[in-house]
Amino acid sequence: MTDRKRSLSGIRVTGRFHLGNYLGAGINYVRLQDEYESYIFVADYHTLTTKPNAREFSNDLYEMVMDLIAIGVDPGRTVIYRQSAIPKVAELTLLLAMVTPLSWVQRVPTFKEKVRDQPDNVNLGLFEYPVLQSADIIIVKGDVVPVGRDQAAHLELTREITRRFNRTYGHVFPEPAIVLNPDAPIIKGTDGKAKMSKSLNNIIGVTDPPEVITKQVMSMVTDTKRVYKTQPGHPRTCNVCAMYKLFFDDWEHYWELCRRAQIGCQEKKSLLAKRIVERFAPFRERRAELTREQIDEILAAGAVRAGEVAEKTMVEVRNAIGLPPYSQL
Ligand code: TRP
């Protein structure tokens, strides 16, 4: 093990990696692995809060790991594992729960959202979600956590729990810092309304075949105030134009054409589709070479590495709390 600072992030099993995941956090997974000792895991325990049978999302889990590697997460430099391969994280969750006031968890906005989204399945796991997330992070003593903006409240809670733990039992953990991508603009899904999410069927997949990407982009909702091509457009409020900022250096030129009604929405979309297809070609190529057997090996190796780190941390934790060491059980 090196003495480099550690970066850690997790991702729930939702299916394919999409443009929102990539811009929000994925780019940073790739950037940080040069400088930090990096860990990325697939949060299968967390996924159980909404999908109670892990067998049913096992296929999606493989897809996600393949996509992670496709976008440039390098198993040679980043420890990639599945959360449930480190059962000690569940023990740490339980211990963190003892220093987490109920009121802190009650105010987490994502819990309220979930209560709204799945009123028939408001389980305790959902409530405990951010405590488990805290355990994920600090069990590897993560210093930085690359995530999307939507995770800010969870990270704030993690920092509070960490401080409380350290104050109660002595300094065991670094306080993890959130790492956002400042360039991640507010890109919405293809519907132009909500953020990208597989369940809303409004995503652009980063490793999808060209024809799928093209279809997704061509289905994008554009400037709703512009009915005819001859009318001037409003690039500031158009989601397609927002994407131009990311994919075209000369986006201002296109915004101006749009304002002057010299380019239509369809044409803008087809240029954008072509550009995205080109930009992500290396991801598709890398992904096409991966096999399930390789993924199994990568996850097995990752579980060993992450398991060692977790074991070491938990030895310290049990000692700090005054629980008997594993060696005496
Ligand atoms: N809650 C995160 C999400 O929905 C996933 C996650 C679980 C995570 N554990 C984590 C992210 C630990 C960062 C660190 O995207």
9 CB near ligand 1 (under 6 Å): yes
Mutate which of 39, 81, 96, 136 for ligand 1? The one with the most ligand atoms within 8 Å of its CB, which is 136
Structure tokens given for 45: 């325990």
Residue 182 has a pLDDT of 84
CA 136 – ligand 1 centroid, Å: 8
* Amino acid type, 9: S
CA 263 – ligand 1 centroid, Å: 41
Residue 140 has a pLDDT of 98
CA of 142, closest atom in ligand 1: 14
Name 169's Cβ contacts closer than 8 Å, sequence gap at least 6.
Answer: 317, 320, 321
Residue 323 has a pLDDT of 98
CA 41 – ligand 1 centroid, Å: 9
Per-residue b or e along 27-62, where b marks 16 or more CB atoms closer than 10 Å to that residue's CB: bbbbebbeebbbbbbbbbbbbbbbeeeeeebeebbb
Residue 183 has a pLDDT of 75
DSSP secondary-structure letter at 328?
A: G
CA 10 – ligand 1 centroid, Å: 4
84 CB near ligand 1 (under 6 Å): no
pTM of the predicted structure, to 2 decimals: 0.93
Closest residue by Cα to atom 10, ligand 1, is 10
**Long-range contact pairs involving 119-123 (C-beta distance under 8 Å, separation at least 24):** 121/50, 123/49
Distance of CA 269 to the CA centre of its chain: 27
| List of domains in the chain | 6-186+291-328 (3.40.50.620), 208-279 (1.10.240.10)
Q: How many CB atoms lie within 10 A of CB 264?
A: 17
CA 23 – ligand 1 centroid, Å: 16
Residue 2 has a pLDDT of 58
Mutate which of 6, 8, 11 for ligand 1? The one with the most ligand atoms within 8 Å of its CB, which is 11
CA 133 – ligand 1 centroid, Å: 6
Residue 231 has a pLDDT of 87
* Per-residue confidence in pLDDT tens, the chain, 329 aa: 558 999 999 999 988 899 999 999 999 999 999 999 999 999 999 999 999 999 999 999 999 999 999 999 999 999 999 999 999 999 999 999 999 999 999 999 989 888 898 899 999 999 999 999 999 999 999 999 999 999 999 999 999 999 999 999 999 999 999 999 987 767 899 999 898 988 889 999 999 999 999 999 999 998 878 888 888 999 998 999 999 998 999 999 999 999 999 999 999 999 999 999 999 999 999 999 999 999 999 999 999 999 999 999 999 999 999 999 999 99
Q: pLDDT by residue (tens digit) across 241-261? A: 999 998 999 999 999 999 999
Per-residue b or e along 206-232, where b marks 16 or more CB atoms closer than 10 Å to that residue's CB: bbbeeeebbebbeebbbbeebeeeeee
| Angle, vertex CA 9, rays to CA 155 and CA 295, nearest 5 | 160
CA of 146, closest atom in ligand 1: 13
Mutate which of 151, 155, 157, 199 for ligand 1? The one with the most ligand atoms within 8 Å of its CB, which is 151
Mutate which of 7, 8, 9, 61 for ligand 1? The one with the most ligand atoms within 8 Å of its CB, which is 9
CA of 25, closest atom in ligand 1: 15
